[in-house]
Amino acid sequence: MSFETVSQARCFGGTQFVYRHASRETNTPMRLAVFVPPQAERAKVPVVWFLSGLTCTEENFTVKAGAQRAASELGLMLIAPDTSPRGEGVPDDPEGAYDFGLGAGFYVDAVEAPWAKHYRMRSYIERELPDLIAENLPADMSRQGITGHSMGGHGALTIALRNPDRFKAVSAFAPIASPLNCPWGEKALSGYIGSDRSAWRDYDACALIEGGARLPDLLVDQGTADSFLDSQLKPQLLEEACARAGQPLTLRRQEGYDHSYFFIASFIEDHLRWHARRLGA
Place 41 in a pLDDT band, splitting at 50, 70 and 90. Answer: very high
Q: What is the pLDDT of residue 26?
A: 98
pLDDT at 130 over 80: yes
pLDDT > 90? residue 117: yes
Backbone φ and ψ for 34, nearest 5 degrees, come out as -135, 120
What's the predicted TM-score (pTM) here? Answer: 0.98
Query: How far lies 96's CA from each of 55, 99, 110, 116, in Å?
Result: 12, 9, 19, 19
Catalytic residues: 150, 226, 259
Per-residue pLDDT tens over the stretch 157-177: 999 999 999 999 999 999 999
Closest to 242 (Cα-Cα) out of 220, 266, 268, 224: 220
Per residue in 46-90, pLDDT tens?
999 999 999 999 999 999 999 999 999 999 999 999 999 999 999
pLDDT at 271: 98
pLDDT of residue 72: 98
| pLDDT number for residue 21 | 98
Q: What is the pLDDT of residue 2?
A: 87
What does the buried/exposed string (b/e) look like for 28-67 if buried means 16 or more CB atoms within 10 Å of the residue's CB? Answer: bebbbbbbbbbbbeeebbbbbbbbbbbebbbebbbebbeb
Mean pLDDT, rounded, of the chain: 98
Distance CA 14, CA 9 (A): 9
Query: What pLDDT is stored for residue 129 in this prediction?
Result: 98
Q: Which pLDDT value is given to residue 247? A: 98
Evaluate if residue 1 carries a pLDDT over 90: no
> What is the distance between the alpha carbons of residues 28 and 49, in angstroms, rounded to a whole number?
21
Predicted local confidence at residue 281, as pLDDT? 78
Whether pLDDT at 268 is above 90? yes
Q: What confidence tens digit (pLDDT) does each residue in 174-201 have?
A: 999 999 999 999 999 999 999 999 999 9
